[in-house]
Amino acid sequence: MSTSARGAYHHGDLRAALVQAARELLEAGEPFSLRAVARRAGVSPTAPYRHFADRDALESAVAGEGFTDLYGELAGLSTGAGADDVARFAVAYVNFALARPAVFRLMFGNECDDENDERVRASGALNELLIEGVRQRFPKADAPALATALWSLAHGLAFLHLDGKFAPRPASAVEERVRAAVAAVLSPAASR
């Protein structure tokens, strides 16, 4: 039972306490159910139903929070010009996946649909951030297409590391691999 979650609930933040408890269970690899989340948060087994209709709704909230956190990490990077700046984004993306693998898998494990505003908005905001970043760095490129290519590259590298196809350590080797891949993709775009 999480003391901080119990304290958060008593202060009226049950939803946040439940999302935090769910994230902790996921990252610990423990069985995930609304009952387990309630127990972890220190609330009654029925308390999660005040904010979440079912497990899918809670998972979606955790995924939405993951997208928001990833957005914050990427938006917080310094802006610069060219491939090196884009490589920093890709490295941060892969590092996020390696640091929070269960949440990352949950974020991308289900499709976003219009029924789930939180997840759709968070994923859309991340996509817009990437498009705008490409637009600023490569004004002559097709920004949406290049952003999709770069997101796909970083995403693929993240899962190749998570799934053990590439060694996730040492961090310097991961960074070097990601930077080299970004440079290979951007070399034609940078010359435009």
DSSP secondary structure string for all residues of 147-178: HHHHHHHHHHHHHHHHTTSS---SHHHHHHHH
Which burial class, exposed, middle or buried, applies to 187 when counting CB atoms under 10 A from its CB (0-12, 13-18, 19+)? exposed
- The pLDDT, as a whole number, for residue 4 is 46
Cβ proximity of 162 and 168 under 8 Å:
yes
Per-residue HEC secondary structure of 33-88 comes to CHHHHHHHHCCCCCHHHHCCCCHHHHHHHHHHHHHHHHHHHHHCCCCCCCHHHHHH
- Per DSSP, 29 falls in state T
pTM: 0.85
Residues 57-102: pLDDT tens digits? 898 889 989 999 999 999 988 666 667 888 999 999 999 999 999 9
The share of the chain scoring above pLDDT 90, in percent, equals: 57
Q: Tell me the domain boundaries of the chain.
A: 3-50, 55-190
Domain 55-190 belongs in CATH node 1.10.357.10: yes
Residues 100-150: pLDDT tens digits? 999 999 998 876 666 656 778 888 899 999 999 888 888 898 999 999 999
In angstroms, the first-to-last Cα distance of the chain is 57
How distant, in Å, are the alpha carbons of 143, 149, 160 from that of 177?
A: 24, 17, 11
Judged against a pLDDT cut of 80, whether residue 28 lies above it is answered with: yes
